Each structure stands twice: as structure tokens, then as C-alpha cells.
């Protein structure tokens, strides 16, 4: 008897579970059949479409273009690179000043001038040699040495400063000389 009750309780539970699932499915289906929430929007859009009357814009006809046939026989080639490059070189050499790009670069030319620090100077065999610190390394700088990215050349060394002459390119693509100075600084 107990066994029969157990089977009955089990089947009742299954039947109630099926009933709950069926009612949930019917609720979902009936909710989908209700009126759409954007019905007001659709009504407004149809009213606007009925009220507006677009006016077609009349486009004027395109003017006729004259054809031009280029005849190169006996004329200069406008795309000849040798003529273009010659005129550019002539334009760049108006001052006559040109940097020496063929010489080998010195180690201090890879540092900007504001990162270099003059820490002292010594006199060796009658010549003044400047001591310049770059990246925590002391370098000896003589007259004519190059430093800085703008092809700077040392033109004077005193006990408290180094005079540098740089060759820079200005906005007109011409080369110009510019003076810079590296001054002895106290310990940082």
C-alpha cells in the first residue's frame, strides 16, 4: 500500500509540474499577441508621411567640357625629374651654405645640447680641453669637435663656457648658422 501511495504522489507531482509549465507557456504566447508597445510611434510616422509632400529638386544640366589633347611632340616633358631636381637644388643653394653630411658622426652628436653638461676644462699642451658629461660619461671636447643633433661645431672654449655654431635648416629649406652656448654648471 505504501508503495502505491508513493507512486500516486509522484504522478501527482508530475501532473502539477506539467500543468504549471503549460500555464506559463500560454501566458507567454498571449502576451506576444497583445498590442505592440510602439503602436503610437507607428501612428505618428504614418501621419507624418501623409502630411509631407516632397518637392523634387530640378538639377541643372552639366555644362559641356572641352576636351584637350596634349601633343608632346617638340615640347618639354613636364615630369622630367632631372629638371625638377635641378631647380630644387638651385633653390636650396641660395645661401651657398651646406652641412657636411659625408663626415662620420662623433659620439656627442647623438645627444641634444640641453642634455649635455659642461663640468670643467683643463689645459693640455697649451690648448684648452672642455670636459662634457653626457649620460654619466665624461667626454673630452676640443676645438672643432662636433656635438648636438644640429651639426654643432665647437668654435671656442673658455674656462666657463663652450661656444657652438650649428647649421640648421629654416622654413625656406635653406641652411643657416645658429650660435649656442654650453655654460659650466654646478654639481646637480
What are the domain boundaries of the chain?
A: 107-183
Which of left, alpha, beta for 125 (phi over 0: left; psi -120 to 50: alpha)?
left
* pLDDT < 70 positions in the chain: 1-12, 30-37, 83-96, 172, 187-188
Q: Give residue 1's pLDDT.
A: 43
Q: Give the separation between CA 54 and CA 52, rounded to whole angstroms.
A: 6
Domain 107-183 has CATH 2.40.340.10: no
Q: Which long-range contacts (CB under 8 A, 24 or more apart) does 182-186 make?
A: 182/113, 182/116, 182/117, 182/118, 182/130, 182/132, 183/118, 184/118, 184/119, 184/120, 184/121, 184/159, 184/160, 185/117, 185/118, 185/119
> What pLDDT, on a 0 to 100 scale, did the predictor assign at position 88?
62
Question: What is the reported pLDDT for 152?
Answer: 92
Note the pLDDT of residue 141: 93
Residue 138 has a pLDDT of: 93
pLDDT at residue 11 in the model: 55
Amino acid at each position: 500500500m505504501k508503495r502505491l501511495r508513493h507512486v500516486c504522489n509522484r504522478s501527482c507531482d508530475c501532473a502539477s509540474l506539467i500543468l504549471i509549465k503549460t500555464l506559463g507557456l500560454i501566458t507567454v504566447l498571449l502576451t506576444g499577441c497583445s498590442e505592440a508597445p510602439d503602436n503610437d510611434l507607428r501612428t505618428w510616422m504614418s501621419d507624418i508621411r501623409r502630411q509631407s509632400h516632397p518637392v523634387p529638386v530640378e538639377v541643372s544640366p552639366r555644362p559641356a567640357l572641352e576636351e584637350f589633347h596634349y601633343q608632346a611632340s617638340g615640347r618639354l616633358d613636364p615630369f622630367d625629374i632631372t629638371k625638377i631636381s635641378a631647380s630644387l637644388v638651385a633653390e636650396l643653394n641660395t645661401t651657398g651654405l651646406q652641412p657636411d653630411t659625408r663626415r662620420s658622426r662623433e659620439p656627442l652628436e647623438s645627444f641634444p645640447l640641453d642634455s649635455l653638461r659642461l663640468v670643467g676644462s683643463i689645459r693640455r699642451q697649451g690648448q684648452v680641453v672642455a670636459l662634457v658629461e653626457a649620460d654619466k660619461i665624461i667626454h673630452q671636447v676640443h676645438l672643432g669637435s662636433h656635438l648636438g643633433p644640429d651639426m654643432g661645431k665647437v668654435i671656442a672654449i673658455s674656462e666657463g663656457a663652450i661656444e657652438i655654431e650649428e647649421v640648421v635648416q629654416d622654413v625656406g629649406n635653406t641652411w643657416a648658422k645658429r650660435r649656442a652656448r654650453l655654460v659650466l654648471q654646478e654639481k646637480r
